[in-house]
Amino acid sequence: MDNVALRVSSVTKSYGKRTVLDSLDLTVHKGSFVTLLGSSGSGKSTLFRCITGLDSIDSGRIIAFGGSKSVHELTSTQLCQLRRDIGFVFQQFNLIKRFTAYENVLGACLASTPFWRVAFRNFNKDDRRLALECLDRVEMLSFANTPVLKLSGGQQQRIAVARVLAQKPKLIIADEPVSSLDPLTAASVLKTLKTAARDSNVAVLCSLHQVELAIDVADHIIGIKGGRVQLDLANDPEDHAMGNKITSLYERVIGESAV
Amino acid sequence: MVPNPIIETTLRENDASGVRTRIRYCLVALALSVLVAIAWSFCKIDFNKLAVGTPILFSFVYQMFPPDLSDLSKVVKGAGETLAMATIGTIFATLLAFPLALLAARNTTPGLGVYRIARTILNISRSTETLVFALVFVAAVGFGPFAGVLAITFHMIGAIGKVFAETIETVDEGPLEALALTGAGKLKIIRYGLIPDVMPGLIAGALYMWEFSVRTSTVLGIVGAGGIGQILKDTVDLLNFNKMITVLAVILLMVAVIDFISDKLRHMILEPTDGSIKEPQFIQV
């Protein structure tokens, strides 16, 4: 139990008559990289919204970092506290376009900064150094003072990864982080996320469309369809034979051919 | 070729719906005509009166020349007072409208009740004309530019507040959700993420409203609320057309200059840093 970052147990969630998550179970161990595979509408984003408390659940439990309460039972103060430990990477990056890369990364320090400092935009030196270090870790330090809208999609997602690192989370959730990028950029951004997470021993739960990308980075691959886990496999990015086996299994079970 | 039954059916249905649409248009046109006729009868339209009055109008124009420039410095001073009233009134209104706009924007309001109250205040302020406020404030604080400043402030709170609230509501929500997911509170997110992001839009909106205030405040003097309007009213009362043309020319010049300055400033502020939006260009033939 000690090395579990996130445990989702028999979670069910419906919107009206449509069941999106159907008694779903899932475990993310500390420091591991878990990818969630499935086509659009398979319930991946809904699961993430439930884990971060943006949506409620109908039944089941979501326990983060060995806490005693499920996410949906937390008070709003406790939820804010929990969110500090969970970093989120979005498909559409969700950066403030007018701001520079550095200002965007600094946004991760809002929760721990007193309001008067935020009001005067006067962040303490440790936070400012941390923001620049995080930009360095995603190889974007030279763009620190560049407005985000001048950067390419891949560069923007690197900034978003830097922002999530500056939050010093225990778990990073990435919702289709590379699906709006071209294949080469996608692989390289995903590698950056993987390396950064491993270096700071952060667990990652990352949803992807393509099984090939998952095989390259994941320690664990979970395939979902119709709101249920259909596939739950350990993976070794170095082992190509294992990769091929997972690909064919994935195509058979989830029924979506790899591109 | 064998006729496709689906195509034939679809064609028939299109014909039928076309007829229905035309009938609907005719009914709407009929209803509008009735409304226009009623409005026409209220307005006591009489083109005869216009025909009789037109020569008088031309004689006014004739009498305007040559313009009387003897009191030009007084007229310019009046214009300066008008400009000052409009500027101070707009600044006051901007400062008061900003917090109200945060309460009246759907994405920043603390609650539905507060939202409704803030919207109501903005609506009352905006739908009361500056001239009406001027009449009230002249009665309350006496003749002079201060009454004008108060009138502009009270009307512009609503106008600027509405523009601000709408600018705030169009902000990209994604980045703010990203900040909320780091565990940051709403106030910090508004201060760090939202306000700097919408600021150029707000400044541009305030400048636009300043243009309006300058135009509106040229007539406030007619009810005694200071500025060039007072001088204009005196020339009309005395039928002093030579002087009236001077006053009108100064007003026109001032408004044109202010529009030009405000337009340039707004373009400078809203110019995106990547230069992706270009000035409209005349087509080169």
Q: What is the ipTM of this complex?
A: 0.86
Rounded Cα distance, B198 and B202, in Å: 6
Spans of all domains in chain B:
5-63, 72-270
CB-neighbour burial class of residue A86 (10 A; exposed 0-12, middle 13-18, buried 19+)? buried
Whether A226 is covered by a domain: the verdict is yes
Whether A70 is covered by a domain: the verdict is yes
| Predicted local confidence at residue B277, as pLDDT | 44
| Predicted local confidence at residue B194, as pLDDT | 94
Whether A107 is covered by a domain: the verdict is no
CATH number for the domain harbouring residue A240: 3.40.50.300
Nearest to B274 among A80, A107, A150 (CB): A150
Alpha helices by DSSP H, A200-239: 211-217
Tokens read off for B180: 């909320």
> Which CA distances in Å does A179 have to A69, A149, B199, B215, B269?
33, 19, 32, 52, 34
Q: Residue A205 sits in which domain range?
A: 4-95+169-254
- Percent above pLDDT 90 for chain A: 43
- Domain count along chain A: 1
Q: B72-270: which CATH number, 3.40.50.150, 3.30.70.260, 3.90.550.10, 1.10.3720.10? A: 1.10.3720.10
User: What would the pLDDT profile of B96-130 be if each residue is shown by its tens digit?
Assistant: 999 999 999 999 999 999 999 999 999 999 999 99
3-state SS, one letter per residue, for B90-154: HHHHHHHHHHHHHHHCCCCCCCHHHHHHHHHHHHHHHHCCHHHHHHHHHHHHCCCHHHHHHHHHH
The interaxial angle of helices B72-104 and B195-217, nearest 10 deg, is: 140
Closest chain B CA to residue A146? B273
What mean pLDDT is predicted for residues B26-53? Answer: 94
What mean pLDDT is predicted for residues A114-136? Answer: 92
Whether A193 is covered by a domain: the verdict is yes
Strand order in the sheet with A4-15: A18-29, A4-15, A59-64
Whether A137 is covered by a domain: the verdict is no
> Which CA distances in Å does B86 have to A24, B26, B153, B155, B272?
64, 48, 9, 11, 29
Whether A192 is covered by a domain: the verdict is yes
| Predicted local confidence at residue A230, as pLDDT | 86
B159 to chain A, closest Cα gap in Å: 26
Nearest to A96 among B185, B187, B193 (CB): B193
* Number of Cβ pairs < 8 A linking chain A and chain B: 78
- Asked if the Cβ–Cβ distance from A149 to B188 is below 8 Å, we say no
